[in-house]
Amino acid sequence: MRIATGGLIDREKPIRFTFDGKPVTGFAGDTVASALLANDILLMGRSFKYHRPRGPVTAGSDEPNALVTVGEGAEARPNTRATCQEIYDGLTVTSQNRWPSLRFDAMAVNDLLSPFLAAGFYYKTFMWPRAFWEKLYEPIIRRAAGLGALSGQPDPDRSEKAFAHCDLLVIGAGPAGLAAALTAAEAGADVILATEDTRPGGRLLSETVTLGDQTGREWADRMAARLAAMGNVRVMARTTVTGVYDSGTYGALERVAEHVMPGEAPPTCFWRLVARQAILATGALERPIAFPMNDRPGILSAAATRTYLNRYAVSPGARVAVFGNNDDAHRTATDLAAAGVTVAALIDTREDATSDGAWPFYPGAEVIETQGRLRLEGLTIRKPGGTLRIGADALAVAGGWNPALHLTCHMNGRPVWQEDIAAFVPTANAIPGLTPCGAALGTFSTAGCLEDGRRAAEAALDALGHSPKPIDLPDAEDTPYSPPATWAVTAPGRAWLDLQNDVTTKDVHLAARENFRSVEHMKRYTTQGMATDQGKGSNVTALAILADATGRTIPETGTTTFRPPYVPVPISSMGAGHAGKGFAPERFTTSHEASTARAAPMIEAGLWYRPSYFPVHGEKTWRESCDREVRMVRECVGVSDVSTLGKIDIQGPGAAEFLDLVYTGTFSTLKEGRIRYGLMLREDGHVMDDGTTARLGPQHYLMTTTTAAAGPVMAHLEFVAQGLRPDLDVKLTSVTDHWAQFAVAGPRARDLLNSLLEEEVTDDAVPFMSCWLATVSGVPVRLYRISFSGERGYEIAVPARYGAALWRLLVAQAESLGGGAYGIEALNVLRIEKGFITHAEIHGRTTAYDIGMQAMMSKTKDFIGKAAAARPGLTESTRERLVGLRPRDPANMPLPGGFLFTKGETPSRANAQGYVTSACWSPTLETHLALGFLASGPERMGETLRFTDHLRNRDFEVTVTDPVAFDQDGGRMRG
Amino acid sequence: MRLTCPHCGERDLREFAYKGDALALSRPEANAELQAWHEYLHIRDNPAGPTRELWYHTPCGSWMVAERDTATHAVHRTMTPAEATK
Ligand SMILES: [Zn+2]
């Protein structure tokens, strides 16, 4: 119910939203939970396992119960905490894990079965038979136990990610965080102050404390305004620091626009904050007391009750009882009474407690039972002299505080037990550069937090090399806090710990009886703390009960730990911008538009897109186009874009010696204007890559790599240059994107060039494997006479800005000669006919010897991979070595991946003699052709083998041939 | 985690690629025994504690050696390979 006055809500601004389709009105400043409570709606969810009716127990991100789905369609957000979600006009909120409705949930039958569904039930029952698990048990369990569902639609990927850097990151903006931020900011440090809340203030916004002559809220507002006005401070509201990573890196989730109707702004932004120093001022979380049937809607934490009361002007009930073991219970009763709410009873576990309030007071008493179904109706207490039933529609529980030390555990820091406050506190130096303070460190008075914040900031400033300036801190309450450790009430009935996962104190006792005595085992056996709230409220209590059940102290039993993220982070935030094209950027060549304009299907080659083939009118299959393009190159002339091959410019006095080291062959003897084929090994003796390298000048080479290996080869060359031979003066520059390069291949390739070049090309001037400079339409070009097709071939390179124009020119000229453009399908056929290798053959496990290039390994100089390539085992003739394969029936295609067997042997893996790596239909030779590796291959020419592909059910005979199937002496390309 | 590229300065981990033990900088002589090559290629310690590692800064192409503690994740020093092998 709404209190008539007070609160940080704007009563001038009513907000209308819906809950399960019904209209609800709140005020600006309300959360979904506070607005629903204001409308006397306490039932907000159902528990995970037993589908028990539940209401909110907190007013923050530690909420285990009030999880709802917000919004509709693809942007719907399941499992949103109603206690954090701000309301806005038009918001739709839907309850979860219930059917057909929240008030009547058919699966609540699980609750009646609960005696059979204790901890470990699933483990014990659904073990056998195995097939039943997948087909029967799991689908049923998944349907019965669950949270909100995703929309099933593609994520709109509207979130963002960002980086920020600072001297000091202050996490939390309560009294300690504000004092710390102010101290550091006044000293001149660059400060980021991050608060999970919508505004700075922390508990000051929820309590009735005064600081000097101001209310807590007034002081917090003034501090926030003062900080916001400083140029060296960035206040980040709605920003939860979710994880701590190495070297002062912090992950943080900013809820940018989840509090307004979805529109232009990104819903969230995931930040990587890099801070030289950080201060943990995250406060503390109030913990529950486990008493029988402590889960009914209307039972909530005393701290949350004060938050609803003082911040939102909402009471969870008209008659509220308060139960606790410390003075917070009394504070809660006082605040309730001040707001005009009837305090039904104040129940204090301490026998010596006193109270002068105008309410029934029961010292030395405990709650032993509660009544009500969809909301609390009453409770039974045990007090000195007997039991008593009390009518109440809400119950506030003050069990003491657990420091919110979660982030200090993220780098393996283990919290330590502090007896006087019966709580874990952060271990010292758990995170390098992170100083905990205030309630997060176990300091609970307002004055103590202010002072502690200043102290922490001064320590951080010292580490940063800044001198602190004196700042004034106001006077505030300094009440001592030393509650007795009260974990559970001993009484019959189910007492709940983990409310979301329905773990009871009995489950923990059962785990202990079954010898799951380690806290890690107990946790997994019972699922305690494994829900979306990660046991923020209940873990310490469960640990204490396990300690009690096993007769050990809490420190003996173990410690609690937490991993990132502190709150659930949507995958769409962490991966923002990484869906679709953000996941795999596209690289286009300069001929891309012209290719797609010709309806060429584009195929991915790494991040590049290359044309498969260029269909012409009347062609029905890719094979028809490919065959035509191959014949065109063999008989006339074809043009192909080869810009995607890696190009590395190598210059310097040490360039020649450098190349001699990275290639198996010798490049220092290569003459200017000449090109040589190079084979590059890894240091372990296997082939890394191959390509041609041209010598453009005395100290200037241009290397080409395969498309796939361009990046790795560049890194490898840099390693050799920087790591192995820093004495060599050599500079490496990737120029792949700078040059557009086109292959012109076929008997009429020279004619085509001569139709464009200002200087005529003759074979005397430019023999095979030479390079020169020329001019096309006034643009200087580089020309290389090389061939990957086996035909007379040239590659012509222009600065990329001329690529599109040159491509159009080349294709037009080729077409006027009867040729045209060809794609990578034809390119692949042409090279298989010629036995030229690609990464299908140099797949990382083949040596120079395996591919028949042992002669290319220089005997007179060292090179990378030389020593290892000579190892026994890498040079044996029985190795699987490169061969050509031709099916006995030309119509059969030996598919890559299929295996080769000696005739008469069983086609099993153990008998495999080799495998196929590349295959095609050769229109030139009118047969299928393949390349592959065969044990002792070159010694088995002419042998008939059995080809078997078990996956695709192929089984036929092939004949072993030389890898070069067409123009074996190379006369066509040498011209 | 953050590393300091000798060329670019301190940068986020995701700009770097881990490239194994800095031992790779100590390439044996061409005529070394096979055992020396075997150890160079294949034998690596897996310490919980101080290590010398090779990292590659992808945006600028710099290789570097990082002195790092695998137990604490502290990065003590980074340097160019040339500095590391002096
Ligand atoms: Zn760099």
Give the distance, in angstroms, between the CA of residue A304 and the centroid of all CA atoms in the same chain: 33
Chain B residues with CB under 8 Å of A867 CB are 28, 30, 32, 34, 37
Chain B nearest CA to A548, separation (Å): 34
Residue of B nearest to A723 (CA): B81
Return the pLDDT at A445: 96
Q: Which of A117-121, A270-274, A954-958 has the lowest mean pLDDT?
A: A117-121
Residue A679 has pLDDT above 80, yes or no: yes
pLDDT (mean) for B22-28? 97
Residue B43: give its domain's CATH number: 3.30.2270.10
pLDDT (mean) for B26-47? 95
A664 CA from centroid of ligand 1 (Å): 30
Quick check: B60 contacting A, CB < 8 Å? no
CB contact under 8 A, A723 and B37: no
pLDDT (mean) for A335-363? 97
B7 CA from centroid of ligand 1 (Å): 5
Chain B nearest CA to A450, separation (Å): 32
Distance from C-alpha of A30 to C-alpha of A11, rounded to nearest angstrom:
10
Tens digits of residue pLDDT in A487-500: 999 999 999 999 99
Tens digits of residue pLDDT in A521-565: 999 999 999 888 899 999 999 999 999 999 999 999 988 789 999
Put simply, the chain B residues between 7 and 46 with a CB less than 8 A from any chain A CB are 12-13, 17, 19, 24-25, 27-28, 30, 32, 34, 37, 40-41
Q: Identify whether the C-beta of residue B62 lies closer than 8 Å to the C-beta of residue B16.
A: no
Residue A681 has pLDDT above 70, yes or no: yes
Return the pLDDT at A141: 60
Q: Within 10 Å of residue A225's Cβ, how many Cβ atoms?
A: 11
Chain B residues with CB under 8 Å of A868 CB are 37, 41
- Show Cβ contacts of residue A582 under 8 Å, excluding neighbours closer than 6 positions: A157
pLDDT (mean) for A12-34? 98
CB contact under 8 A, B63 and A718: yes
Write the residue in B30, B58, B61 that is nearest to A867 by C-beta. B30
**Token pair of A40, please?**
């006397």
- Rg of chain A on CA atoms, in Å: 38
Return the pLDDT at A267: 95
DSSP per residue, A609-622: EEE-----TT--SH
- Show Cβ contacts of residue A844 under 8 Å, excluding neighbours closer than 6 positions: A686
Residue A308 has pLDDT above 80, yes or no: yes
Chain A residues with CB under 8 Å of B80 CB are 722, 726
Return the pLDDT at A368: 98
| A-interface mutation test, from B5, B14, B23, B25, most A Cβ less than 10 A away | B25
Run of H or E residues at A626: helix A622-635
Residue of B nearest to A682 (CA): B41
| B-interface mutation test, from A714, A724, A727, A730, most B Cβ less than 10 A away | A724
CB contact under 8 A, A246 and B73: yes
Phi, psi of A402 (to 5 degrees): -110, 120
Residue A143 has pLDDT above 80, yes or no: no
Write the residue in B2, B17, B81 that is nearest to A723 by C-beta. B81
Return the pLDDT at A236: 98
Return the pLDDT at A136: 63
Residue A107 has pLDDT above 70, yes or no: yes
Chain A residues with CB under 8 Å of B32 CB are 867
Distance from C-alpha of B18 to C-alpha of A895, rounded to nearest angstrom:
37
A675 CA from centroid of ligand 1 (Å): 32
Write the residue in A274, A411, A868 that is nearest to B41 by C-beta. A868
Tens digits of residue pLDDT in A243-266: 999 999 999 999 999 999 998 899
Q: Which residues on chain A place their C-beta less than 8 Å from a C-beta of chain B?
A: 163, 245-249, 272, 274, 411, 432, 683-684, 714-715, 718-719, 722-724, 726, 732, 862, 866-868, 871
A858: helix, strand or coil: coil
Q: Within 10 Å of residue A714's Cβ, how many Cβ atoms?
A: 20
Return the pLDDT at A115: 74
Please give the residue range of the domain that contains residue B32: 2-84
In A218-296 the beta strands, taken as DSSP E runs, fall at 233-236, 239-245, 249-254, 269-280, 284-286
Residue A701 has pLDDT above 80, yes or no: yes
CB contact under 8 A, B30 and A868: no
Which of these, A868, A867, A842, A861, lies nearest to A853 by C-alpha position? A842
CB contact under 8 A, A867 and B74: no
Distance from C-alpha of A361 to C-alpha of A343, rounded to nearest angstrom:
10
ipTM of the complex: 0.98
Give the distance, in angstroms, between the CA of residue A278 and the centroid of all CA atoms in the same chain: 24
Which of these, A430, A416, A418, lies nearest to A560 by C-alpha position? A416
Residue of B nearest to A412 (CA): B72
Confidence of residue A74 (pLDDT cuts 50, 70, 90): confident
CB contact under 8 A, A722 and B82: yes
Count of domains in chain B? 1
Confidence of residue B15 (pLDDT cuts 50, 70, 90): very high
B58 CA from centroid of ligand 1 (Å): 7
CB contact under 8 A, A718 and B13: no
Residue of B nearest to A433 (CA): B74
CB contact under 8 A, A871 and B34: yes
- Show Cβ contacts of residue A806 under 8 Å, excluding neighbours closer than 6 positions: A740, A742, A776, A779, A781, A796, A798
Tens digits of residue pLDDT in A613-657: 999 999 999 999 999 999 999 999 999 999 999 999 999 999 999
Confidence of residue A946 (pLDDT cuts 50, 70, 90): very high
Confidence of residue B19 (pLDDT cuts 50, 70, 90): very high
Return the pLDDT at A155: 83
Q: Identify whether the C-beta of residue A511 lies closer than 8 Å to the C-beta of residue A527.
A: no
pLDDT (mean) for A801-805? 98
Residue of B nearest to A429 (CA): B72
CB contact under 8 A, A246 and B34: no
Confidence of residue A121 (pLDDT cuts 50, 70, 90): low
Which of these, A3, A453, A9, lies nearest to A211 by C-alpha position? A453
Distance from C-alpha of A256 to C-alpha of A412, rounded to nearest angstrom:
31
Tens digits of residue pLDDT in A88-105: 999 999 998 777 788 887
Chain A residues with CB under 8 Å of B61 CB are 714-715, 718, 732
A713 CA from centroid of ligand 1 (Å): 18
Return the pLDDT at A105: 78
Q: Which of A474-483, A644-653, A676-685 has the lowest mean pLDDT?
A: A474-483
Tens digits of residue pLDDT in A562-608: 999 999 999 989 999 998 888 899 999 999 999 999 999 999 999 99
How far is the CA of A717 from the CAs of A651, A657, A842, B22, in angstroms? 13, 13, 18, 16
Distance from C-alpha of A519 to C-alpha of A525, rounded to nearest angstrom:
10
pLDDT (mean) for A58-77? 94
Confidence of residue A146 (pLDDT cuts 50, 70, 90): low
Residue A716 has pLDDT above 70, yes or no: yes
Chain A residues with CB under 8 Å of B35 CB are none
Quick check: B54 contacting A, CB < 8 Å? yes
Q: Of all residues in chain A, what percent carry a pLDDT higher than 90?
A: 89
Cis status of the peptide bond prior to A872, with omega within 30 of 0: no
Chain A residues with CB under 8 Å of B39 CB are none
Chain A nearest CA to B46, separation (Å): 20
Of how many residues is chain A composed? 975
Residue A233 has pLDDT above 70, yes or no: yes
Distance from C-alpha of A426 to C-alpha of A876, rounded to nearest angstrom:
62
CB contact under 8 A, B30 and A862: yes
Chain B nearest CA to A68, separation (Å): 35
Q: What are the structural domains of chain A?
A: 1-149 (3.10.20.440), 160-281+429-464 (3.50.50.60), 288-352+361-399 (3.50.50.60), 487-557 (1.10.10.1100), 592-644+738-831 (3.30.1360.120), 647-734 (3.30.70.1400), 876-974 (2.40.30.110)
Residue of B nearest to A430 (CA): B72
| B-interface mutation test, from A578, A718, A730, most B Cβ less than 10 A away | A718
Distance from C-alpha of A316 to C-alpha of A367, rounded to nearest angstrom:
18
CB contact under 8 A, A246 and B28: no
Mean pLDDT score of chain A, rounded to an integer? Answer: 95
CB contact under 8 A, B19 and A719: yes
pLDDT (mean) for A383-407? 97
CB contact under 8 A, B54 and A723: yes
CB contact under 8 A, A719 and B75: no
Q: Identify whether the C-beta of residue A208 lies closer than 8 Å to the C-beta of residue A310.
A: yes
